[in-house]
């Protein structure tokens, strides 16, 4: 009987030890830095501004803004995006993608005085490749064109500056 009790204690200790190791490994893996994946190609159809590709953006961090003209949070964010794009930190580093819109993108771009490239993703293919689920969504790219972070919420000039700086 004592031998059986000792065997059960040994088995219990072994199981608890294995559980502790598994939890430790899970905690380390869950908090490990995620591998940056290369950003998918941008849409080829330009709505305004000059055509832009990921190759054009390589060499410095960049911001890709997914929006739709009917989206009220996008409308709220739009003036800050315009100010950021004109700032020294944002100049030449902002590209917008009109995501499954088909609405009044021209009026939107004119109203908010966006002077950076705006690309058309009316099919939603690019947004799906970028894993966009909500609008507005901002994707920060590093110098090699890899996705550093994705934020689905309206941004400010300060948050865009910090995000771009962190991606650099």
Cα(9)–Cα(15) distance, integer angstroms: 10
Cα(128)–Cα(132) distance, integer angstroms: 6
Task: Evaluate whether 154 touches 46 at the Cβ level (below 8 Å).
Answer: no
pTM of the model: 0.77
What does the buried/exposed string (b/e) look like for 27-46 if buried means 16 or more CB atoms within 10 Å of the residue's CB?
eeeeeeeeeeeebbebbeee
Cα(77)–Cα(118) distance, integer angstroms: 15
pLDDT digits (tens, 9 = 90+) for 7-44: 656 555 654 444 443 433 344 333 334 568 999 999 98
**Cis status, amide bond into 59, omega within 30 of 0:** no
Mean residue pLDDT across the chain = 83
Task: Evaluate whether 74 touches 133 at the Cβ level (below 8 Å).
Answer: no
* Mean pLDDT along residues 96-113: 89
Q: For the domain 46-167, what is the CATH superfamily, name and number? A: Glutaredoxin (3.40.30.10)
Name 151's Cβ contacts closer than 8 Å, sequence gap at least 6.
137, 138, 140, 159, 163
Q: How confident is the model at residue 70 (pLDDT cuts 50, 70, 90)?
A: very high
Pairing of strands 94-99, 62-67: parallel
DSSP designation for 73: H
């Amino acid at each position: 009987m004592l031998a059986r009790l000792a065997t059960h204690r040994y088995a219990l200790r072994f199981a608890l030890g294995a559980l502790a190791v598994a939890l430790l490994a899970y905690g380390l893996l869950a908090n490990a830095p995620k591998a940056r994946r290369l950003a998918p190609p941008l849409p080829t159809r330009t709505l305004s501004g000059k055509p832009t590709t990921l190759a054009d953006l390589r060499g410095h961090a960049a911001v890709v803004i997914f929006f739709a003209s009917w989206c009220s949070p996008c409308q709220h964010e739009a003036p800050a995006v315009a100010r950021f794009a004109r700032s020294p930190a944002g100049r030449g580093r902002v590209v917008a993608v009109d995501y499954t819109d088909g609405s009044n993108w021209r009026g939107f771009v004119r109203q908010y005085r966006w002077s950076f490239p705006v690309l058309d993703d009316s099919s939603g293919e690019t947004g799906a490749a970028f894993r966009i689920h909500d609008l507005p969504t901002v994707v920060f790219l590093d110098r090699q064109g890899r996705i550093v972070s994705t934020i689905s919420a309206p941004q400010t000039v300060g948050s865009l500056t910090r995000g771009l700086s962190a991606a650099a």
